[in-house]
Chains A and B, each alone.
Chain A
Amino acid sequence: MKTILKWLRNPYFQFLLFGILLALVPILAKIGIFKVSYITTLGGAFIFAIAALGLNILLGYSGLISLGTSGFMGLAAYLSAYATIDLNLPFEVAIFLAILIPTLIGVLVGLVSLKIEGIYLAIATLAVSEVMRKTFEEFDFFTNGFSGKTANYPTLFGVFTLDRTTMYYFIVSVLVLVMILTYNMVNGRLGRALNAMRGSEAASQAMGVNLLNHRLIAFALATIYASIAGVLYVHFIKYSYPSIWSLKLSLDFLAMIIIGGLRSIYGTLLGAVIVFAVPDLFLKQLPYFNQLSYILNGILIILVIIFYPHGLIYAGHDIKRAFNKLRKGAK
């Protein structure tokens, strides 16, 4: 019993367990407990969670804002589709290119962040993202313009061609890996340095944190995560339109980490599921929902900020406390 408890408290074991739980979805769908469409919805939410984790490193830890997440994610999606379909490159090479190119641009934006901050940085990143979206519309040899670009389920190592279910497993594996790597980074030297940069520039500099380096690292990480998400998206949903990669999506990423929890890995996931999956799974039945989704997110953010300013993930503590109280009361 004791050893089991010890295992359960190990964060790495928790991540693996979490991954296994997520991997149950297709099985539950097969035996008819879930609808098969849940696989697409949840897989999509997990993809968005990866990009949101990157934004959480940038905003939550480093205190740098970006409204450009969707542009970078979209760029990676198009690059990967172009590389695999038009250039016939292997999936692995496509991933590499689709991460490298957006990240280089992301680092350039990081350079800008040394000069401008706060709301101005938000506007600058938004501008970059909008320029990219415009590019997606106009450069149709590369993006196929408004008609959208299609892509296929990927073939790993040239042999394993994935389908929807195995692609879902692939997404869950990448998600768990990204969660573990994020956990390691934010709980070590890098996490402390980013926290210090956000909490006190003076102290971080006096303690030897090179602000330029760490801002670039934060932007690079956020872009890498967004790019990974973009690649997974285009090979899972199998198409990409310019209108997907709009300001609304970037704001949704912001909503995810604020609703779920700044600086919380599981919180980011919770936020992604609430913002992307809950509307699809439960609210779509309601009429006029598409028009209402903005309003719902807005109301949710306001409620969360009022009641759980650190994110909904902390509601768990309250539920536990209330539960313990009830149990004590019953005794």
Chain B
Amino acid sequence: MQNNEVDMNGLVLKIEELSIAFGGLKAVDGLSFEIKENEVFGLIGPNGAGKTTAFNCITQFYKPNSGAIYFKDRKGQTQNLLEHNVHEIIKLGLVRTFQNVELIRELSIIDNVLIGAHTDFKATIFSQAFRSPKAVREEREMRAKAYEILETLGIEDRANLPVGGQPYGILKKVEFARSLISNPKLIILDEPAAGLNDVETIELASRIRKIRDELGCSILLVEHDMRLVMDVCDRICAISFGKFLAKGTPKEIKENKAVQVAYLGIEVDHDTKQ
């Protein structure tokens, strides 16, 4: 569905007054922000601030109580994401990873990556069952593409090993690879550096920028590792208790009084908090 009223010039995602409550708890409360094309955008906030919940609303795992979410899809058309089912989101060009890695243990690494290409397959079940030449070719091409992605992440030597039993750093990479294979316009990363060591985190930072440049996509990430956030993000939005705190460049955020308070937990009078 087209929504011509919304001005999405230069933007890929626009969130307006997003709110969702669980019981009495306002997990996200009147949150607005927008992400530009080709931007690495950070969403930060203390534990329980509502970051993952905001992601779940954007990707339609939760239907928000109120607010609007607009997304410029692959074809450049503006989509009201609330009108879509959760499984339709990736087809529009929006893909996510999970805070607690969600992979299929019994499948090989490359098969896990191929799950990300699920909606790109054209062959019907029938032609796959009977191995029509077209279905065989499609499977081979997709597999080659998945292998290529594993190569860029440096884990192609493990392509055919099962995911179960792989170290955490590898699992994070597999999930990342799975999100890349769909050629997304916006990738949402929920704590990509959690559980990684220093070397892996530095590697991740350069990879995020490289992906953005090579795919020409935007990246929205939640991360507690402040060095990574300050390092890779073009702009950052800080939230606390579901509410908007501040928005700006990494430098502006670092110097923002309200953000410092939220993170350091200093008690302040609500009126003086900007």
Chain A residues near B (Cβ < 8 Å): 181, 184-185, 188-190, 192-193, 195-196, 198-200, 202-211, 217, 263
Chain A residue numbers with a CB within 8 Å of B131 are 184
Chain B stretch 101-125: residues in CB contact (< 8 A) with chain A? 102-107, 111, 114-116, 118-119, 121, 123, 125
Query: B87 touching A196 by the CB < 8 A rule?
Result: no
Query: A206 touching B130 by the CB < 8 A rule?
Result: no
User: What CA separation (Å) do A204 and B96 show in the bound complex?
Assistant: 11
Using known A-B contacts A203-B103, A205-B87, determine if residue A192 contacts B128 with beta carbons closer than 8 Å.
no
Query: A188 touching B102 by the CB < 8 A rule?
Result: no
What are 22 inter-chain pairs, A to B, with CB distance below 8 A? A184-B130, A185-B128, A188-B139, A192-B104, A192-B107, A192-B114, A195-B107, A196-B107, A196-B115, A199-B104, A199-B106, A200-B104, A203-B104, A205-B87, A206-B59, A207-B115, A207-B119, A208-B89, A208-B91, A208-B182, A209-B118, A210-B87
User: What CA separation (Å) do A195 and B130 show in the bound complex?
Assistant: 20
User: What CA separation (Å) do A203 and B104 show in the bound complex?
Assistant: 9
Query: A206 touching B90 by the CB < 8 A rule?
Result: yes
Chain B residues near A (Cβ < 8 Å): 59, 61, 85-91, 95-96, 98, 102-107, 111, 114-116, 118-119, 121, 123, 125, 128-131, 135, 139, 178, 182
Query: B118 touching A206 by the CB < 8 A rule?
Result: no
Chain B residue numbers with a CB within 8 Å of A208 are 87-91, 118-119, 182
Chain B residue numbers with a CB within 8 Å of A184 are 128-131
Chain B residue numbers with a CB within 8 Å of A195 are 104, 106-107, 111, 115
User: What CA separation (Å) do A226 and B104 show in the bound complex?
Assistant: 28
Query: A193 touching B118 by the CB < 8 A rule?
Result: yes
Closest chain B CB from A210 CB (angstroms): 5
Chain B residue numbers with a CB within 8 Å of A217 are 125
Q: Is the interface of A mostly helix, strand, loop or mixed?
A: helix
Between A and B, how many residue pairs show CB distances below 8 Å? 92
Chain A residue numbers with a CB within 8 Å of B96 are 206
Query: B86 touching A206 by the CB < 8 A rule?
Result: yes
Closest chain A CB from B146 CB (angstroms): 11
Closest to B125 in A: A190
Query: A192 touching B102 by the CB < 8 A rule?
Result: no
Query: B178 touching A196 by the CB < 8 A rule?
Result: no
Query: A199 touching B121 by the CB < 8 A rule?
Result: no
Closest chain B CB from A143 CB (angstroms): 32
Closest to B95 in A: A206
User: What CA separation (Å) do A200 and B106 show in the bound complex?
Assistant: 11
Using known A-B contacts A206-B96, A208-B90, A209-B87, determine if residue A199 contacts B111 with beta carbons closer than 8 Å.
no
Closest chain A CB from B159 CB (angstroms): 14
Closest chain B CB from A202 CB (angstroms): 5
Q: Which 6 pairs between the two chains have the least Cβ-Cβ distance?
A: A199-B104, A208-B119, A203-B102, A208-B90, A200-B102, A188-B128
Query: B121 touching A207 by the CB < 8 A rule?
Result: no
Given contacts A192-B104, A192-B115, 11 further A-B contacts (CB under 8 A): A184-B130, A185-B128, A192-B118, A193-B115, A196-B107, A202-B102, A203-B98, A203-B115, A204-B115, A206-B61, A208-B87
Q: Which of B89, B111, B119, B129 contacts A192 (CB 8 A)?
A: B111
Closest to B107 in A: A195
User: What CA separation (Å) do A198 and B106 show in the bound complex?
Assistant: 10
User: What CA separation (Å) do A202 and B52 show in the bound complex?
Assistant: 13
Closest to A188 in B: B128
Query: A181 touching B130 by the CB < 8 A rule?
Result: yes
Query: B87 touching A211 by the CB < 8 A rule?
Result: yes
User: What CA separation (Å) do A190 and B91 show in the bound complex?
Assistant: 17
Q: Which of A189, A205, A206, A210 contacts B128 (CB 8 A)?
A: A189
User: What CA separation (Å) do A188 and B178 show in the bound complex?
Assistant: 16
User: What CA separation (Å) do A204 and B90 show in the bound complex?
Assistant: 11
User: What CA separation (Å) do A207 and B94 show in the bound complex?
Assistant: 10
Query: B105 touching A188 by the CB < 8 A rule?
Result: no
User: What CA separation (Å) do A65 and B132 show in the bound complex?
Assistant: 31
Closest chain A CB from B245 CB (angstroms): 28
Closest chain B CB from A10 CB (angstroms): 13
Closest chain B CB from A183 CB (angstroms): 9
Query: B90 touching A199 by the CB < 8 A rule?
Result: no
Chain A residue numbers with a CB within 8 Å of B135 are 188
Using known A-B contacts A184-B129, A189-B128, determine if residue A199 contacts B107 with beta carbons closer than 8 Å.
yes
Closest chain A CB from B184 CB (angstroms): 11
Closest chain B CB from A25 CB (angstroms): 27
Closest chain A CB from B73 CB (angstroms): 14
